[in-house]
Amino acid sequence: MENVKSDPGIRVVDVRTPEEYREGHIPDSLSIPLDNLSLAAKLIPNKDTEIYVYCLSGSRSGAAASMLSRMGYTQVKNIGGIMGYHGALTR
């Protein structure tokens, strides 16, 4: 996550539900729930954008990373679950 601070072009995407996102999320992350992942095409139009995907435990983010790759995104990384994140959360 350190490279996110040094590279403003990296997009961090939270694929949890809107309710989960409101309970606390990684600062500056985009909320794109897994069941609405097609919204990524509008919110992140450049398919070469570096994208870090997370959820609660890592399961949904794994599915999302695969889906984004199938959608043509070339630099997608599953960073796992927010449970493993040690920084401050935004509410």
**3-state SS, residue 81:** strand
Look at residue 90 and tell me if it is in a domain: no
pTM: 0.93
11 part of a folded domain: yes
- Domain containing 6 equals 2-84
In a domain, 23, yes or no: yes
Positive/negative CA dihedral, 91, 71, 44, 73: positive
CATH number at residue 23: 3.40.250.10
Interatomic CA distance for residues 1 and 41, integer angstroms: 23
Residue 2: per-residue pLDDT: 63
Domain count, the chain: 1
Residues 83 and 57 sit within 8 Å (Cβ to Cβ): yes
Q: Identify whether 43 is part of a domain.
A: yes
- Dump pLDDT digits (tens) for 28-71: 999 999 999 999 999 999 999 999 999 999 999 999 999 999 99
Catalytic: 55? yes
Catalytic member of 55, 68, 76, 79: 55
Residue 46, in any domain of the structure:
yes
For the segment 9-25, what is each residue's pLDDT rounded down to a tens digit? Answer: 999 999 999 999 999 99
DSSP output for 1-63: -HHHHH-TT-EEEE-S-HHHHHH-B-TT-EE--GGGGGGHHHH---TTSEEEEEESSSHHHHH
